[in-house]
Structure 1
Amino acid sequence: MAYPQWLDPYDAEPFILFSTSHLWAIGLIAALIILMFLFKSWLRSSSSNTRRTIRITMACVMFGCEIVLQLWYVYGDVWSMQTSLPLELCSLSLLLSALLLLTRSRLLHSALLFAGIAGALMAIVTPNLGYAYAHFRFIQFFTAHACIILALFYMTWVEQLRPSWRSVLGSMIFVNVAALVVYGVDVLLDANYMFLRHKPDTPSVLDMLGPYPLYILGEEVLAVVMFSLMYVLLFAIPQRLNNRVKRGKSSAL
């Protein structure tokens, strides 16, 4: 069967780490995050119907990312139980973040905030991806991971689900419970979801964490450090500075 080049699962231009297209994708995602931060007050002050429409639209895009991926697997005759189920950390984060947009669940927000953002960021910087721009898989991959980050920041900055140190704990619990369940599936299917049985074939952060199974323990330490730093740098310090500004304005009046 002949496939269009942008859909071909077998004969496509390979992805090159930090190529021009990869750097453009990183830059575009960074720009979207910055724009959301700059316009967070405007979005927050918009009507509840507008915010609801934004949440539903984002959720539909996120569910759509997974649906079209599964359809592509089937179309390309590459779907398999060992590689195609949505059991990677970012796949789980994508679907649950979409659910978070629809439910505004504080429990989901706490579980996903740091795990979802950190996992998506690492995937964006060191993608486990075999297709270069403008292949469908390249576009779907970066769209899905960008949506995870934007959805979680949206729920924090606009919908004002405030994180705390409990969110760091919640994300660690989520990652470990997910890993435990997925490892059972890996053993059952002889698969390697979440890279719990060996490292990916493409370059990744795991290469710096030692051989199997030591890199899994390294991931645990890295996750605690990353989640804690993210909370302090992105939320705790800005909130403290904001409170000082407000107190200064109040005393001036």
Structure 2
Amino acid sequence: MKMFSPVDFQTFQLFSPSHIAVIVLFLIICIFFLLYLKKAKLTNNKRLSSILVTIFIVSELSYQIWALSVRIWESKYFLPLQLCSFSTFFGLYLHFKRSTVIFYFFFYIGFLPPILAILTPDLLYDFPHYFFGKFFIQHMAIPISAVYLLVAKDYNLPFKSVWISFLCLNLVAIPIGGVNYLLGSNYFFLSGPPVSDTALSLFGNGWFYILQLEILALFFFHLTFVFGKGILLFTKKN
């Protein structure tokens, strides 16, 4: 089937009709989700949690199966070491077990980064290719899950969570950088900006690129803190 072909539908363009349709759909889902949170005073919706967990598992497993089945799997591209995969795994864990530090890390890497990925995706395949659907569904589920866990599991979001998460990100980035060095890969986009046109394409290369990533991460973590507090206020959670 062409929708699973590794060579067909390689026509994705930024802000094409299919891309704009996904962005609009995501905005609609977010609006209804936030209104639901406010109205329902969500505590622990097992059905919603099961849907998000299913999306996470199917997204990661199907991606590996697809790459293997069409014989394009390479360790430098398909190891589950991208930021969205880390968000997915931590999100899965938090749906079953409570952990304040892991939640902080998940919330700060799982709220704005996937939204930015939806707006400027590192994507080759266009609709109706499998990877187009997988990419956007997974990246929609991650921030929705982050907000769900924040509200439903009654987590607090102190200012120190920004710095705890920033420290965790740097600790994780060290071994990821080592993997990139050994494999010639670009996990976490530490080796340089992606080939596709994304926000990172403006950052250049080398150590100045890494410095800009650090500054950008810290900026977005602070912005995420503001959004998180706003969500808690909107849903009347203290």
TM-score strictly above 0.5: yes
- One-letter amino acid of the structure 2 residue matched with residue 36 of structure 1: F
* 1:181 counterpart residue number: 175
Instruction: Specify whether residues 193 and 231 from structure 1 end up closer, same or farther in structure 2 by C-alpha distance, changes over 3 A only.
Output: same
Task: Say if 1:168 and 1:231, in contact at 8 Å, map to a contact too.
Answer: yes
* 2:134 counterpart residue number: 140
Matched, 1:217 2:214: no
5+ long unaligned stretches in structure 1: 247-253
* 2:21 counterpart residue number: 24
Instruction: Specify whether residues 52 and 29 from structure 1 end up closer, same or farther in structure 2 by C-alpha distance, changes over 3 A only.
Output: same
Task: Say if 2:194 and 2:201, in contact at 8 Å, map to a contact too.
Answer: no
Task: Say if 1:14 and 1:132, in contact at 8 Å, map to a contact too.
Answer: yes
Offset at 1:212?
Answer: 2.2
Could you report, residue by residue, the CA deviation over 1:12-45 in whole angstroms, capped at 9, with x for unpaired residues? 2411101111111111112222212111144435
Instruction: Specify whether residues 160 and 241 from structure 1 end up closer, same or farther in structure 2 by C-alpha distance, changes over 3 A only.
Output: closer
Q: Which has the higher contact order (CA 8 A, sep 6+)?
A: 2
Task: Say if 1:82 and 1:189, in contact at 8 Å, map to a contact too.
Answer: yes
Task: Say if 2:42 and 2:151, in contact at 8 Å, map to a contact too.
Answer: no
Task: Say if 1:55 and 1:102, in contact at 8 Å, map to a contact too.
Answer: no
- One-letter amino acid of the structure 1 residue matched with residue 187 of structure 2: Y
Whole-Å separation in 1 of the counterparts to 2:235 and 2:36: 19
- One-letter amino acid of the structure 1 residue matched with residue 2 of structure 2: Q
State the aligned residue count: 238
The structure with the largest alpha-carbon Rg is 1
Offset at 1:172?
Answer: 1.0
Deviates more, 1:204-213 or 1:113-122: 204-213
TM-score, structure 2 as length reference: 0.91
Q: Percent identity?
A: 28
Whole-Å separation in 2 of the counterparts to 1:40 and 1:94: 22
The match for 1:228 among 214, 222, 226 is 222
Deviates more, 1:182-191 or 1:227-236: 227-236
Which aligned pairs between 1:89-238 and structure 2 lie closer than 5 A? 89-235=83-229
Task: Say if 2:192 and 2:206, in contact at 8 Å, map to a contact too.
Answer: yes
Question: Aligned-pair RMSD on alpha carbons?
Answer: 2.3
TM-score, structure 1 as length reference: 0.86
Offset at 1:62?
Answer: 0.6
* 1:14 counterpart residue number: 11
Offset at 1:109?
Answer: 1.0
- One-letter amino acid of the structure 1 residue matched with residue 9 of structure 2: A
SS of the aligned residue for 2:41 comes to helix
Instruction: Specify whether residues 188 and 234 from structure 1 end up closer, same or farther in structure 2 by C-alpha distance, changes over 3 A only.
Output: same
- One-letter amino acid of the structure 2 residue matched with residue 225 of structure 1: F
* 1:251 counterpart residue number: none
